[in-house]
Amino acid sequence: MLALHVLASGSSGNAAVIENTATGAGVLIDCGICKRDFLARCDEAGFDPGRIQAMFVTHEHGDHVKGLGVVLRGLAKIGNVPPVFAAGACTANSSALAKVAEAFDVRELTAACAQAGSQGIANAGFGDAMPRAAVAGAGQDSATRAAGDGFIEAAGMRIIPFATSHDAAASFGFRIEDAADGDAIGYLTDSGIITAQAHAALRDVRILALESNHDPKMLAAGPYPYVIKQRIASNSGHLSNDQAAAELGTLVAESRTAGLRLPQTVVAMHVSQNNNDYSLARRTLEAALGEAGCYAETLCGYQARLTTAR
């Protein structure tokens, strides 16, 4: 079984650990927080950061990568130097990632629209909308390696990247599966729309982490300059509460029709502290679940405190 530990989620910094609860090993998605907060929230979650076997970068914006170098250096001091999977375009577009690549094992991450080889996904009938991952890098080991059939293996998990739509050099979400029992987590943040790859990858998961960034009315009336409001609301910006709720309702309906799993826990991600409210984001997703007849637990990922979904 898998657990999701959201260490931080929001415009000031993002980081999340996916833990394989059977082994205690895990992977880190993004690291835009300081080492102190990273270590403190790992400790609060009961997760040993020395068990991180790989790190994955959604995209190069500072709130997702600014803490990566210092955290990697801290892990290296305790003898853990996990590989980092990031798109080359992101590394080239970020001084923080470029510095990490000079000192650590950074491997190329891409996603292309193709049938994934993961048996669990193939059985789910996602078809050609599912991505194939292509990863290149020296020194791949038995603990963390690229599989030739559509996913990356690490910590007893299959990590499957899919394309998102954001104003970055490249951007990804991830589907994470337990290689032993098929448990699955869908993780999507920082996307202005739901891409076809994302929609396919987010079906048939037990835990769904889904961006619910802003309330359109609050954004329109809020303090941001007009150009920033336009960026946030654009197809390469961030999902609103309503967009997240619509996608959630569709995912539930399609999964039920196909005989797939329905989510048991939904986590609202990247909730804006200026253009949204945690309770509003949660209530909007709860309403969508209620209309779809799915009574999953609804949580929020917070900027300054831990959220765990098991």
Q: Which stretch of DSSP H or E encloses residue 304?
A: none
The reported pTM is 0.90
Per-residue pLDDT of 6-65, as tens digits, reads 999 999 999 999 999 999 999 999 999 999 999 999 999 999 999 999 999 999 999 999
Structural tokens at position 148: 């030739």
* 111 has pLDDT over 70: no
* 116 has pLDDT over 90: no
CA-nearest of 52, 177, 162 to 109 is: 162
> Which DSSP symbol is given to 52?
E
* 115 has pLDDT over 90: no
CA-nearest of 79, 82, 83, 84 to 94 is: 84
CB–CB of 261/184 below 8 Å?
yes
* 133 has pLDDT over 70: no
Least confidently predicted of 112-121, 201-210, 226-235, 240-249: 112-121
Annotate 115-175 with DSSP letters as a single string: ----HHHHHHT-GGGSEEEEEE-TT--SSEEE-TTS-EEETTEEEEEEE---SSSS-EEEE
Query: How are beta strands 144-146 and 52-56 bridged, if at all?
Result: unpaired
- Segment 192-215 shows an average pLDDT of 97
Q: What are phi and psi of 272, to 5 degrees?
A: -70, 135
- Which pLDDT score is estimated for 204? 96
Chain-centroid distance of CA 221 in Å reads 29
CB–CB of 190/10 below 8 Å?
no
Per-residue pLDDT of 217-274, as tens digits, reads 999 999 999 999 999 999 999 999 999 999 999 999 999 999 999 999 999 999 999 9
What's the CA gap between 258 and 271, in Å, rounded?
A: 31
CA angle centred on 225, ends 222 and 231, rounded to 5°? 95
What's the CA gap between 253 and 14, in Å, rounded?
A: 30
- What 3-state DSSP class applies to 99? helix
Per-residue pLDDT of 163-184, as tens digits, reads 999 999 999 999 999 999 999 9
- Which pLDDT score is estimated for 110? 80
> Which DSSP symbol is given to 19?
E
CB–CB of 259/187 below 8 Å?
no
Starting at the edge strand found earlier in the chain, the sheet holding 152-154 runs 144-146, 152-154, 157-163, 172-178, 184-188, 207-211, 265-269, 297-300
- Which pLDDT score is estimated for 92? 97
Strands (E) across the chain are located at 2-8, 15-20, 26-31, 52-56, 84-86, 106-113, 131-136, 144-146, 152-154, 157-163, 172-178, 184-188, 207-211, 265-269, 297-300, 307-309
